[in-house]
Amino acid sequence: MLQIFDMSDPSRREAGIAAAAVALRRGDLVGLPTETVYGLAADARSDQAVTAIFAAKGRPRFNPLIVHIPSRAAAERLAAFPPDARKLADAFWPGPLTLVLPRKPAAGISDLATAGLDTIAIRVPAHPVARAVLVAADLPVAAPSANRSGHVSPTEAGHVVADLGDAVAVILDAGPTGIGLESTVVGFDRNRATLLRPGGLTRADIERVLRTPLAIPADDPDRPASPGMLAKHYAPAAAVRLDATDVRPNEALLAFGPSLPAGADRAIAIRNLSPSGDLAEAAANLFAALRDLDRVSGKIAVMPVPDEGLGEAINDRLRRAAEGR
């Protein structure tokens, strides 16, 4: 039976963290808030628990999962760190950065969680609830976004309930997530840092630490090296039309900035990611706005978003949402 704990209630917080830790150790699934999006958490060491993630999400088995751990020291027990990976971990952990690193032979992580690769995707989350659960459970936790595979990622506990329901044993409701985009994923090809997925940490911030440009890999849709590299991903059921400069009949509008396009008055519904044109606000609102519009219309027109800073990650998610439509 699904248990939902309101983490804003001090009398429920400790009980919720304890219940989540017990559920994880038992092999059950937990809806876990992070600073990026809500994760669907399970024991990363257990084939059975990881299989339950795939079953709940309907997720392709070849798509690797991110393993969440509470500290850099815990990460070094699982993976080898090239010098640039150490620089990034020092600069951005805890935080919205995932590193794809060579997996140590004795890591003890399920091969299902790494999709059979010799690398492992690792993150140290910054959200206090996630960190408390990781410490209480005392195990590495695989936690992709807590939604059906390919659907819009969840930024509120209600999104987890809507997509997954009783497939989850415990959901910790900590309110809307702060960043609203998944973590940025960086891998290392011949020890050179490579941007595998743009996300809540900008390319510019990473390159400032490394003092060199990030490399960009060629996508392999048949065998992604990182979560979030499938061509069609983060997708609503509605058809998505990008770079819209007008609104057509029967379309809802996903807007950005203070000025609306021609025909906005006939939009079925409008959600503005940021009326002031702030990319951080737009990122935080992206997935919730897509879910809202998906409920009211079969077509969504999306205004252009600047492809800079967090706009790079926003546009990546929008392109994947529109793939094949």
Quick check: 62 pLDDT over 70?
no
**Angstrom distance (rounded) from CA 120 to CA 109:** 9
Matching residue, tokens 């999962």: 65
Side-chain-facing half-sphere of 238: CA atoms under 13 Å: 25
Assigned token pair, 55:
């079953």
Q: Does residue 227 lie within any of the structural domains?
A: no
162 and 249 fall within a common domain: no
Reference 275, options 255, 290, 292; nearest CA is: 255
Write out the DSSP string of 77-89. TTB---HHHHHHH
Q: Residues 282-323: pLDDT tens digits?
A: 999 998 999 999 999 999 999 999 999 999 989 988 998 888
Q: Residues 28-49: pLDDT tens digits?
A: 999 999 999 999 999 999 989 9
Matching residue, tokens 């408390």: 132
The CATH number for 286's domain is 3.40.50.11030
Determine the pLDDT at residue 233.
60
The CATH number for 114's domain is 3.90.870.10
Stated as kind and residue range, the H or E segment containing 102 is: strand 97-102
What residue numbers bound the domain in which 159 lies? 3-75+103-180
What is the CA 189 to chain-centroid distance, rounded?
23
Tally of domains in the chain: 2
pTM for the whole structure:
0.86
Q: Which of 129, 162, 180 is a domain's end point?
A: 180
What is the spatial order of strands in the sheet that 270-272 belongs to? 239-241, 299-302, 252-255, 270-272
11 and 145 fall within a common domain: yes
| Number of CB atoms found within 10 A of residue 101's CB | 22
Q: Does residue 112 lie within any of the structural domains?
A: yes
Q: Residues 136-160: pLDDT tens digits?
A: 999 999 999 999 987 899 999 999 9
158 and 246 fall within a common domain: no
